[in-house]
Structure 1
Amino acid sequence: MPAFHIPDSEFAERRAKAQAMAKDMGLDALIVWSRSGHSVEAYGDLYYLTNFVSLFPCVPDRRTWSSRGHGALILPVDGDPILVTDYLDDPEDRIKVSDVRAEPDLAAGVVDVLKETGLLGGKLGMVGMMSFLVSALRRMEDHAGQRLDLTDADHILDRLRVIKSPAEIALMRRSAAVGVKWMEATMGAVIEGNTEGDAVGAGLAVLAANGGTQQDIAISSGPNAQHYMGSSGVPHWNVTRPLQTGDLVHIDQWGPVNGYYTDFARSTVVGGKPSDGQRELLDGNVALIHHIIASITPNRTTFGDLYRTGAKWLDDNGFANHKSTGDETNNFSRLFPCFGHALGLGIDGPWIVDDEDTVIAPNMTLAIEALVSKPGVGASNFEENVLVTEKGAEILTADCNSRFWA
């Protein structure tokens, strides 16, 4: 298997760009805060700049530690980066920052670095707001003995991460290829007598063997096929009900492979012979997503344009759109008015929603999706991962069968 990695020099270039953008904002430094531990939702910003994620699980604070499962990079606009982590035991020497401090009381350790570098009273940009904890802020301010001047700076990393470098595109291609194997293994176990859990387990074995881990799998079948997930508990799959011939099944799988995400969905009918209503739903779902993809014109089309293209297709072809009230079977779709999102070191923005005016540009990678339903039939889920090129869009997940039915 060939090596897939980001060159060391690229990490330095990324940090330099972030520093310049922070300086333009009048900031003295960025604090790039990240959650990882056993979860993979929010490690992307820190990983993007340092190649580091915390390996310790997220656990409640106590007197001697704080913010376990998190990490923070202090990035002065005119100085060297300092990484503060709650855990440091990496036998592979992956970290791309030379100054690394291991502090079990992470919040206090960050304040100590700010004091040491003369940044404590400065204007600080906070990156990673979805991960930053109220408990961490209180602990930091208690340790500092003063309020911190924090400015939301998430947009800096959002802008840097959305355009992929050649090395990142190679990693995205690799993730898509592994994702295809993962999906094929899962779908191959969608047979009569198996449970949803059996199908999920078959897929996870392939994913793990190919360098990936799941963030989650949304699977639903049979009498629950109108729902995005068949179980609202943990895990999100049913392990008691055997699948039956004729069951409608849809599967959405997402997670990182070597850090970069695969995220796409497929649907089918157990036994591979859909009814007329199921076939209309399944074929329509595929046609919708490929119609949206075909509408991409780089440097002209916006994310909002893609949303409106998808909504019009649904209206023109007799399917309920996100704003419909007539189809009460698809509550998820009405609560998630979206046709997908950017993709990279996570489920990233911008989102394909009606009011998003970001222009789609070459070297963006997107996940374009829709859960489509018909009353009395259920719901189908279909999603592709695409790379935006100078000419249009390349479907990275094209090697996965779109139609697992006859």
Structure 2
Amino acid sequence: MTIAPAEYRQRREALLEKIGGGTALFRSAPMAVMHNDVEYSFRQDSDFYYLTGFDEPSAVAVFTPHHEEHQFVLFVQPKDPEKETWVGLRAGVDAAKERYGADIAYSIDELDEKLPQYIEKADRIYHRMGRDRAFDTKVIAHWQRQLAKYQKEGRGPIALEDPRAIFHPLRMVKSPAELALMRRAAEIAVDAHARAFEVTRPGCYEYEIQAELEYVFRKRGALGPAYPSIVASGVNACILHYIENSRQMQDSDLLLIDAGCSYDYYNSDITRTFPVGGRFTTEQKLLYELVLEAQQQAIAEVKPGNPYNAFHDKAVRVLVEGFVELGILKGNVDQLIEEEKYKPYYMHRTGHWLGVDVHDVGAYKLGDDRWQPLQPGHVLTVEPGIYIAPDVKPAEDQPEVDDRWRGIGIRIEDDVLVTAAGQEVLTAALPKSVEDMERRNVAWVQ
């Protein structure tokens, strides 16, 4: 299960059409250092990988629709048997062309020599600044040399432009092959969450549950976690990106697990919250039911043509109505929403795009007043929550929080595909009802 070479070619053709008379440059990700001379496992830059499928560092991809022979050019590390003995095999120049569909490939050492021929006739250079200072400096130097020739030749790149505005919309709509990978990532993550649910007991440490999750990820063929796994028990669940995962769980705790995996570069992202001891307290159950209702109503708003903010607005309204009913907030619901009086207890948006990046690319708004309309092929998360920290301070003119609510953190998150008919919840196989979370029926974890 992977992306076929023909699909990578189609992606490049779509980009070439978008950039017209320009030249686009994409730099591979750098190797990241863990400590001293020990490096992290390499993870390719998402844009670079999306266009090439090439999974090595120290590479540059050049796209030149105006060049007579070479529209797709790769600069890569050459073969080097001695270095490959230490750090792994390289494709090399010849294989970069044959295996990855480049019109021509060069050694990365030839970049300065060869690049001018691919930018000298361009009307602009597309390059994303700010990610690699050394490469930014190199691109600017080449651009300035071309600008110096402009008065004499009357041609060349007179602008340096970020490619994201024209390129990232192409990544937003997922192809059938991409969706197959995302379904696989979702399936593996569902199994991992089910395993975590099955083994969680009072007295376990959060890191033990993290180990169970990530064991399933790797055993089932995922590259590993899509992001640092959040295994947050008790008051830790009120910390949105808690990753220490070191606390020993108690019988009365809720356990919030936010964990997904990466499968061939495509990601899943799931959150479930359940009682460690097998039963919600009255207060935990009331808040859990409120979050679940907010999520279910929000998911119903994920459909073609709806603006991106519709599902968030629905979740906020349900939560605020619930807060008023429970006495956590007081006042008119519309006014409470307008004045954001709910923010001490729900401080994040209800979702994000999902794909090659966990927080995938693409604009959420198209100008000041217009939200991105949803369309078939978009994939996003729907993840409302309630977080009432032990030391929470209510918004101005709002009541103090009763001690019985303090220390409760709950989030429920699923991955949702926009379809022509509405939506498909890719992670629907993982239960979330009160009954399932209280272990009254554990058949789903067998």
TM-score for the superposition, normalised by structure 2: 0.74
* Contact 2:44 2:55 (C-alpha < 8 Å) held by counterparts: no
Q: Output one character per residue of 1:340-398: Cα deviation in whole Å (capped at 9) or x when no partner.
A: 11211112144768966111111222111123224414211111111111111011101
Structure 1 unmatched runs, 5+: 55-68, 231-235
Aligned match of 2:184: 174
State how far apart, in whole Å, the 1-side matches of 2:387 and 2:309 are.
Answer: 22
SS of the equivalent of 2:212 reads helix
What is the root-mean-square deviation in Å for CA atoms of aligned residues?
3.1
1:5 aligns with 2:16: no
SS of the equivalent of 2:383 reads strand
Aligned match of 2:302: 296
2:24 to 27, 30, 37: 30
State how far apart, in whole Å, the 2-side matches of 1:39 and 1:306 are.
Answer: 37
Shift of 1:400: 0.9
Cα pair distance change 1:355/1:287, threshold 3 Å: farther
Structure 2 counterparts to residues 250-269 of structure 1, below 5 A: 250-269=256-275
Q: Output one character per residue of 1:211-267: Cα deviation in whole Å (capped at 9) or x when no partner.
A: 22112212321232221233xxxxx2233x321111121111134112211111111
1:222 to 234, 254, 266: 234
State how far apart, in whole Å, the 2-side matches of 1:244 and 1:36 are.
Answer: 42
268-277 or 308-317, larger mean C-alpha shift: 308-317
Cα pair distance change 1:197/1:134, threshold 3 Å: same
State how far apart, in whole Å, the 2-side matches of 1:358 and 1:41 are.
Answer: 29
Aligned match of 2:51: 49
State how far apart, in whole Å, the 1-side matches of 2:75 and 2:170 are.
Answer: 22
Amino acid in the other structure paired with 1:157? F
1:133 aligns with 2:166: no
State how far apart, in whole Å, the 2-side matches of 1:13 and 1:186 are.
Answer: 40
Aligned match of 1:84: 75
* Contact 1:342 1:351 (C-alpha < 8 Å) held by counterparts: no
State how far apart, in whole Å, the 2-side matches of 1:357 and 1:90 are.
Answer: 44
Aligned match of 2:386: 372
Q: Output one character per residue of 1:152-184: Cα deviation in whole Å (capped at 9) or x when no partner.
A: 110223111111111112112111111111222
Aligned match of 1:65: none
* Contact 1:384 1:397 (C-alpha < 8 Å) held by counterparts: yes
Shift of 1:292: 0.8
Aligned match of 1:237: 244
Amino acid in the other structure paired with 2:11? R
Cα pair distance change 1:306/1:395, threshold 3 Å: same
Shift of 1:12: 1.0
Structure of higher CA gyration radius: 2
Aligned match of 2:12: 15
Structure 2 counterparts to residues 220-369 of structure 1, below 5 A: 220-230=232-242, 236-239=243-246, 241-298=247-304, 300-318=305-323, 324-325=340-341, 328=344, 330=345, 333-334=346-347, 336=348, 338-346=349-357, 347-350=359-362, 357-369=371-383
* Contact 1:387 1:396 (C-alpha < 8 Å) held by counterparts: yes
Shift of 1:202: 0.8
State how far apart, in whole Å, the 1-side matches of 2:244 and 2:232 are.
Answer: 7
137-146 or 369-378, larger mean C-alpha shift: 137-146
Aligned residues: 368
Amino acid in the other structure paired with 2:126? G
State how far apart, in whole Å, the 2-side matches of 1:187 and 1:32 are.
Answer: 42
* Contact 2:188 2:217 (C-alpha < 8 Å) held by counterparts: yes
SS of the equivalent of 2:424 reads strand
Cα pair distance change 1:393/1:371, threshold 3 Å: same
Greater fraction strand: 1
* Contact 2:169 2:362 (C-alpha < 8 Å) held by counterparts: no
1:117 aligns with 2:118: yes
Aligned match of 1:401: 431
Amino acid in the other structure paired with 1:17? A
* Contact 1:220 1:228 (C-alpha < 8 Å) held by counterparts: no
State how far apart, in whole Å, the 1-side matches of 2:308 and 2:18 are.
Answer: 24
1:382 aligns with 2:412: yes
SS of the equivalent of 2:161 reads strand
TM-score for the superposition, normalised by structure 1: 0.80
Cα pair distance change 1:371/1:242, threshold 3 Å: same
Shift of 1:197: 0.9
Shift of 1:325: 4.6
258-267 or 355-364, larger mean C-alpha shift: 355-364
Aligned match of 2:86: none
Aligned match of 1:59: none
1:73 aligns with 2:61: yes
* Contact 1:278 1:377 (C-alpha < 8 Å) held by counterparts: no
Aligned match of 1:66: none
Cα pair distance change 1:81/1:210, threshold 3 Å: same
Structure 2 unmatched runs, 5+: 32-39, 80-88, 148-156, 330-336, 389-404, 440-446
Q: Output one character per residue of 1:61-94: Cα deviation in whole Å (capped at 9) or x when no partner.
A: xxxxxxxx46431111234211234587357979
Cα pair distance change 1:29/1:273, threshold 3 Å: same
State how far apart, in whole Å, the 1-side matches of 2:303 and 2:213 are.
Answer: 35
State how far apart, in whole Å, the 2-side matches of 1:21 and 1:351 are.
Answer: 17
Shift of 1:150: 2.0
Q: Output one character per residue of 1:120-141: Cα deviation in whole Å (capped at 9) or x when no partner.
A: 87511125x57x2233212444
Aligned match of 1:97: 101
Aligned match of 2:36: none
State how far apart, in whole Å, the 2-side matches of 1:291 and 1:171 are.
Answer: 27
Cα pair distance change 1:368/1:70, threshold 3 Å: farther
